[in-house]
């Protein structure tokens, strides 16, 4: 049991990556559309490039979206809405009429005429002025449980009551009583017909649902298209119908599991390629679980966002800012990794998006432009310029595809150009997203490095106040290391910032370091060499502690930990040997670790050379050349660069830069006359 737990602990990084691999694969496959892929690619107006195609099974010919919309519009235009008829209203109105009639008329003979008029208008119905009527000629009138079709002009509007009354009285030769009757009817006549919106909506929905989405069938074995025939007209509609039926037909029965198995294999291969790339070209990233997780999270986010866009509307895939992916990966890692991950992600998205070839071509070209143009993100204008170039490439590529497919500009979708503009605007979100990722994953981008390099930052101001000599030394080391990093292709910004903070631990005991001694009094003279060595060595541990309290990124703390490697405080060791020949050299050795990157190795060399250069009595080119060779050769002999990915050729380039820079610093000036 103990051995098993030990093996788990020893291989915890591998176990985590395996778990991450399985989870990422499962999540991406889950996001994939639940439909098979038609094995033929075809485009309207282009020749059929495959063998003669015959119907593999019976399938219906689907109507086009335009045809369905036209039928729906025809149904809506010819739809007869429903109106409810209130039969109780007539008895109420006549009752009120009999009550009010004696108050207006004394002639009993006229009462029957008025009642007859009310019966006539309520036979078809009275409708309120604000009640809507359809454009169609007829309505469906619901009386109890019966429905009858009625011409809408037979309904009496309240505003037309006077006209209908006057016409009726003229026919009865009772025009003399028009005003009196109207005053009476105006107060008692009430609408009894109203729109039944619920029943109308239900009936309309049923009619729309009954629209057939097909227009015939193709029987199994029937020839669909011959090799070389142009895909257009009815042939295009049949091929499109076959594709839809084929894709839905595949996800039935055991086919579901086979297709799912195929998806798993392809996604697994994609992620294996990513791991192989990291193993061969970026082993330091592969060893860092946080960085590997970061890469997978970005891939999954892009797949998720694209899936949502496709489900909502296929055209919206052009609005998904996929170029954010290479921008972010380039900001945190390097362009080569950014482009590789971008290409793998685009290949995965090919299973999701419509017109996959066009999409893959478009996004890969855009990704290449992103990698080639986006640089120095800490300069705000650079991102805007790059996004403009990316958007332009999107538009040009889409325009070219449209011209190829259509042969003209008649059917170009100008809306997609607007989507590309929105894509560019969304890509600008890369800046705040980089900041969010820095906080979530503890990574460092060039933007953060630029902020850390500000000498007015609180920590560097404190270093300047407490240890001004160390601060000046750090600036000199930063200048030397940055120049060397540029020469060998290392991250110059990271090197500069690491050099500026590498000695912050000296603030705790600044007076014990010679660059801060201004009075000529050396406190080491009052203590033993062993205690002096401990104070000198502790500045590394103190620096790490100060850095963590001030939330410096781990990539900067690495420079503090490694800038002396496992070298010794040789001066105090030699001094101790004079008093104690049996002194243990390990008590005078820095705790390490040794540099494990090109950048930390450059800072180690620059720090040692800059500090030792202060002891040169005659700093001419020959002396500088000899002492640089001596110091760096001693570091190589001590195995300080065994873990750093720096070559002997690059070390020679670093030496050359250091010699040149120190020569420029210590060059002799002409003596000015008094």
Return the structure tokens found at 619: 């700093």
Max Cα–Cα distance, the chain, nearest Å: 147
**Beta bridge partners of residue 357, listed in sequence order:** none
- For tokens 């004079």, name the residue: 578
pLDDT attached to residue 10: 65
Chain-centroid distance of CA 199 in Å reads 45
**Beta bridge partners of residue 164, listed in sequence order:** none
238-256 b/e with 16+ CB inside 10 Å = b?
A: bbbbbbebbeebbeeeeee
Return the structure tokens found at 459: 């920590």
- In 355-513, which residue ranges form alpha helices assigned H by DSSP? 356-373, 380-406, 415-427, 430-441, 446-452, 458-466, 468-488, 492-501
Phi-psi region of 207 (alpha: psi -120 to 50; beta: other; left: phi over 0): alpha
**Beta bridge partners of residue 82, listed in sequence order:** 140
Return the structure tokens found at 168: 């009726």
* Close Cβ partners of 308 (under 8 Å, ≥ 6 residues apart): none
Regions of the chain short of the pLDDT cut 70: 1-10, 34-38, 108-109, 247-255, 375-380, 406-407, 411, 667-674
pLDDT attached to residue 629: 92
pLDDT attached to residue 34: 67
Phi-psi region of 41 (alpha: psi -120 to 50; beta: other; left: phi over 0): beta
**Checking DSSP bridges between strand 53-54 and strand 223-225, what pairing results, if any?**
antiparallel
Are 529 and 486 in contact, with CB atoms under 8 Å apart?
no
Q: How many CA atoms lie within 13 A of 129 on its CB side?
A: 5
pLDDT attached to residue 672: 46
- For tokens 């873990």, name the residue: 643
Domain map of the chain by residue range? Answer: 2-29+255-441, 35-63+212-250, 76-208, 446-665
Return the structure tokens found at 541: 């541990």
Number of CB atoms found within 10 A of residue 577's CB: 13
pLDDT attached to residue 673: 56
pLDDT attached to residue 506: 92
Length of the chain: 674
pLDDT attached to residue 25: 94
pLDDT attached to residue 669: 47
What are the tens digits of pLDDT across the range 391-415? 999 999 888 888 877 667 776 777 8
For 446-665, CATH gives 1.10.3210
Assign 496 to helix, strand or coil.
Answer: helix
- In 313-355, which residue ranges form alpha helices assigned H by DSSP? 324-332, 335-349
């Amino acid at each position: 049991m103990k051995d098993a737990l030990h093996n788990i602990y020893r291989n915890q990084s591998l176990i985590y990556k395996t778990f991450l691999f399985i989870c990422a694969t499962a999540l991406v496959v889950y996001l994939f559309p639940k439909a098979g892929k038609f094995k033929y690619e075809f485009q309207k107006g282009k020749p059929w490039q495959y063998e003669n195609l015959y119907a593999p099974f019976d399938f219906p010919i689907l109507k086009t979206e335009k045809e369905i919309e036209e039928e729906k519009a025809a149904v809506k235009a010819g739809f007869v809405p429903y109106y409810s008829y209130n039969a109780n209203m007539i008895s109420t109105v006549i009752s009120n009429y009999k009550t009010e009639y004696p108050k207006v008329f004394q002639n009993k003979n006229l009462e029957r005429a008025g009642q007859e008029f009310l019966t006539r208008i309520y036979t078809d119905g009275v409708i309120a002025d604000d009640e809507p009527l359809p454009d169609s000629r007829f309505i469906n009138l619901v009386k109890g449980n019966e429905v009858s079709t009625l011409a809408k002009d037979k309904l009496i509007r309240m505003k037309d009551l006077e006209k209908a009354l006057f016409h009726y009285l003229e026919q009865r030769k009772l025009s003399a009583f028009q005003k009196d009757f109207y005053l009476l009817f105006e107060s008692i006549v009430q609408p009894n017909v109203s729109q039944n919106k619920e029943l109308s909506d239900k009936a309309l929905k049923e009619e729309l649902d009954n629209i057939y989405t097909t227009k015939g069938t193709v029987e199994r074995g029937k020839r669909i298209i011959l090799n070389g025939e142009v895909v257009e007209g009815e042939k295009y509609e049949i091929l499109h119908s076959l594709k839809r039926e084929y894709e839905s037909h595949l996800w039935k029965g055991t086919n579901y599991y086979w297709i799912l198995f195929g998806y798993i294999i392809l996604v697994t291969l994609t992620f294996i390629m990513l791991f192989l790339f990291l193993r061969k070209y970026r082993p330091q990233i592969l060893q860092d679980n946080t960085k590997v997780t970061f890469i997978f999270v970005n891939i999954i986010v892009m797949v998720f966002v694209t899936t949502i866009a496709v489900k909502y509307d296929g055209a919206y895939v052009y609005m998904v800012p996929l170029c954010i992916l290479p921008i972010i990966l380039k900001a945190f890692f390097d362009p080569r990794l950014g482009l590789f991950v971008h290409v793998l992600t685009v290949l995965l998205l090919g299973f999701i998006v419509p017109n996959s070839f066009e999409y893959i071509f478009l996004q890969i070209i855009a990704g290449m432009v992103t990698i080639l143009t986006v640089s120095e993100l800490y300069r705000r204008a650079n991102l805007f310029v790059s996004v403009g170039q990316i958007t332009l490439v999107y538009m040009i590529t889409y325009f070219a595809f449209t011209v190829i497919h259509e042969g003209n500009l008649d059917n170009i979708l100008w809306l997609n150009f607007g989507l590309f503009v929105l894509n560019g605007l969304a890509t600008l979100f890369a800046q705040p997203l980089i900041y969010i990722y820095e906080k979530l994953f503890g990574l460092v981008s060039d933007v953060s490095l630029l902020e850390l390099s500000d000498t007015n930052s609180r920590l560097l101001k404190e270093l300047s106040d407490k240890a001004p000599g160390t601060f000046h030394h750090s600036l000199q080391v930063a200048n030397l290391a940055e120049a060397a990093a540029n020469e060998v292709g290392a991250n110059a910004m990271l090197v500069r910032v690491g050099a500026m903070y590498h000695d912050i631990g000296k603030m705790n005991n600044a007076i014990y370091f010679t660059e801060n001694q201004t009075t000529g009094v050396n406190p080491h003279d009052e203590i033993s060499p062993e205690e002096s060595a401990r104070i000198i060595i502790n500045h590394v541990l103190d620096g790490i502690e100060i850095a963590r309290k001030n939330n410096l990124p781990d990539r900067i703390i690495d420079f503090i930990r490694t800038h002396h490697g496992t070298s010794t405080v040789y001066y105090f060791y030699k001094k101790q040997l004079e008093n104690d020949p049996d002194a243990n050299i390990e008590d005078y050795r820095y705790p390490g670790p040794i540099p494990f990157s090109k950048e930390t190795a450059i800072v180690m060399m620059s720090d040692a050379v800059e500090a030792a250069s202060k002891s040169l009595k005659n700093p001419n080119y020959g002396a500088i050349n000899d002492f640089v060779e001596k110091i760096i050769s001693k570091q190589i002999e001590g195995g300080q660069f065994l873990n750093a990915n720096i070559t002997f050729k690059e070390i020679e380039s670093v030496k050359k830069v250091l010699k040149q820079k120190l020569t420029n610093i210590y060059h002799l000036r002409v003596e000015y006359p008094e």
